[in-house]
Amino acid sequence: MGTGEQVEQRKGASSRFTIWATTEQVVLVASMFWVLAANRRFLQAALHDRPLNDWHTWGFGLALVAMLVALHFVLLALLANRWTLKPLLGVLTVATVFAIHYMQRYGIYLDPSMLRNVLRTDVAEAGELLGWTLVPDLVLYGALPLLLLSRVRVVRRSWRTALGVRAASMAAALAVLVGCGLLVFQPLASLMRTQKEVRYLITPANYLWSLAAVTAQDARGAAGPRQVVGSDAALGPLARQRTRPLVVVLVVGETARAANWGLNGYARQTTPELAALDVVNFREVTACGTSTEVSLPCMFAPVGRRDYDESRIRNSESILHTLARAGVDVLWRDNQSGCKGVCDGLPSETVAALHPAGLCEDGRCLDEGLLVGLDERLRRAHGTQLLVLHQLGNHGPSYFRRYPPAFARFQPACASDDLRHCTSLEIVNAYDNALLYTDHLLASVIAKLRAASSRTDSVLLYVSDHGESLGENNLFLHGIPFAIAPRVQTRVPMVMWLSEGARATLGVDEQCLRQRASQPASHDHLAHTLLGVLDVRTRVYEPAWDLLHGCRRSSVAMAGG
């Protein structure tokens, strides 16, 4: 063995463009390269709002870098050997260029659902995505490293030595990972608590993890496909005989709580624009969950909270699939973290990918981006359409990032991503300012629907996904298990508006609807109210859970189940 190594070494020395290295050395260099080249957004997000002149910031940053290098080293060292090293690094180098490019350009997080989107991208979409802007990234992060990799010759060692070195180097990397983790435990734990999603910025670990998660989900899904909801769904006579198009805009709010909603009688007017419009405000609405992950699938399931079964909901289609199958034109437009499975396989788009001018920064867009092209859509509308707008809303803890300066009305407002740096008044001010912006967004949608009302009937329905704690009982943010959650996390605002034409065709009694709105309602009503308004007939429909059912003239109301 020893002589073989010497012979190869000599050959290597004679060839000028060859780099001799051990597998561990190559893996270490690759890990360091990716951590520095591909993790800018992660480090920015992790260190955001920390003072540059504080050595704690630098210590935390260095510890994060060391941990990332160690993490990638361990992952790669598990898979790399003399034979797999080059193909493995080659594939990862190319994939990582695309990851870096799209994460920076579109501000995406490469979580399992995003990876699913990527894997579902068809050829036409991919063609649009492959722009010239990709070329510099391909050269810098792809071609150069690959050129270097092609010059590498792996040093041969006896399997005994190789095994020993591998085990020792992996142990050292794990020690660095754990050691640094303990050193910066406090800020790291707070980061993971308040901004859990930043872990999906760690590249290339993010897409490797997401790929594994998607594969595992698919393996489980293959055992039992999503259960069909309302296989009998079909458009009713009202929808079939429609002469004017009907567009229902459902705005799914984020983290808006009923307690701070101006229309609900909050001490501050946080909904001045809606208050000047003839909207119907539902005062007492209970959410289905206290987090987006729980609420979204539940809101779009006909069983809802009253017959709650999480795995059943996750393994079933959402009401959007039912509506689409019946012939409703469904589009999900997202300005947040995706639709949590409820729009899987249905037309969907993200605001970041629409590039609304002046509204996006660091991959996050203001909610007005949801309105891009809405006028045009309304002008060209036909048939029955459902447009779901998923807001970023009051997504915490950085409430101050959710609204443009014009809405910074309540002052002083907390301007830190870390709520511990702010007084409770500053936190509430920033939170309420974000509500002012949602008020403006909803009023803008109504203005657009009104402007198009000479040819298009329309309905706006707004409901938040869950509430928020703003320091009451020392609780912040949300996500407390539903059974023990405080009211501020489970009570949400809900608003409805119908155009003149929609009111007439649906036969809605305004007085009756306002009366209904003063009674308790919940997310459980959403699916059935949508079926009713869009006139989709199915045995899944339960009139008792349709908020409009009791308020429609019998001649045009749905004939029960």
List of residues contacting Zn ion (CB under 5 A): 254, 292, 465
Nearer to Zn ion, 292 or 456 (CB): 292
* Tokens 């993010």 found at: 206
Nearer to Zn ion, 96 or 292 (CB): 292
Residue 255 C-beta: closest distance to Zn ion, Å: 5
DSSP 308-356: --HHHHHTB--HHHHHHHHT-EEEEEESSS--TTTTTTS-EEEHHHH--
List the beta bridge partners of residue 459: 248, 498
Residue 188 C-beta: closest distance to Zn ion, Å: 24
| Nearest CA among 434, 431, 428, 427 for reference residue 405 | 434
Residue 490 C-beta: closest distance to Zn ion, Å: 12
Residues 6 and 298: their CA atoms lie apart, in Å, by 66
Alpha helix (H) residue ranges in 507-544: 510-517, 524-534
Residue 450 C-beta: closest distance to Zn ion, Å: 29
Considering all CA atoms of the chain, what is the largest pairwise distance in Å, rounded to the nearest integer? 95
Measure the N-to-C terminal CA separation of the chain; round to a whole number of Å.
80
The DSSP bridge pattern shows strands 234-235 and 536-537 to be antiparallel
Residue 335 C-beta: closest distance to Zn ion, Å: 12
Three-state DSSP class for residue 390: strand
Nearer to Zn ion, 264 or 292 (CB): 292
Cβ pair 522, 286 in contact under 8 A? yes
Cβ pair 453, 501 in contact under 8 A? yes
Residues 335 and 173: their CA atoms lie apart, in Å, by 38
Residue 296 C-beta: closest distance to Zn ion, Å: 8
Residue 293 C-beta: closest distance to Zn ion, Å: 8
Residue 263 C-beta: closest distance to Zn ion, Å: 20
Nearer to Zn ion, 395 or 552 (CB): 395
Residues 439 and 460: their CA atoms lie apart, in Å, by 13
| Nearest CA among 548, 549, 547, 552 for reference residue 561 | 549
Residue 233 C-beta: closest distance to Zn ion, Å: 28
Residue 439 C-beta: closest distance to Zn ion, Å: 18
Extract the tokens encoding 198. 């930043």
Phi then psi for 62, rounded to 5 degrees? -65, -40
| Nearest CA among 20, 6, 1 for reference residue 155 | 20
The residue at minimum Cβ distance from Zn ion is 292
Nearer to Zn ion, 187 or 393 (CB): 393
Nearer to Zn ion, 260 or 292 (CB): 292
Q: Where are the beta strands (DSSP E) in 218-328?
A: 234-235, 246-253, 280-286
Nearer to Zn ion, 325 or 395 (CB): 395
Nearer to Zn ion, 439 or 465 (CB): 465
Residue 435 C-beta: closest distance to Zn ion, Å: 14
Nearer to Zn ion, 292 or 505 (CB): 292
Q: What is the DSSP letter of 291?
A: S
Nearer to Zn ion, 340 or 537 (CB): 340
Nearer to Zn ion, 177 or 301 (CB): 301
Residue burial 123-139, b: 16+ Cβ < 10 Å; e: rest? eeeeeebeeeebeebee
| Nearest CA among 65, 69, 255 for reference residue 172 | 69
Nearer to Zn ion, 457 or 465 (CB): 465
| Nearest CA among 495, 61, 1, 471 for reference residue 261 | 495
Residue 337 C-beta: closest distance to Zn ion, Å: 8
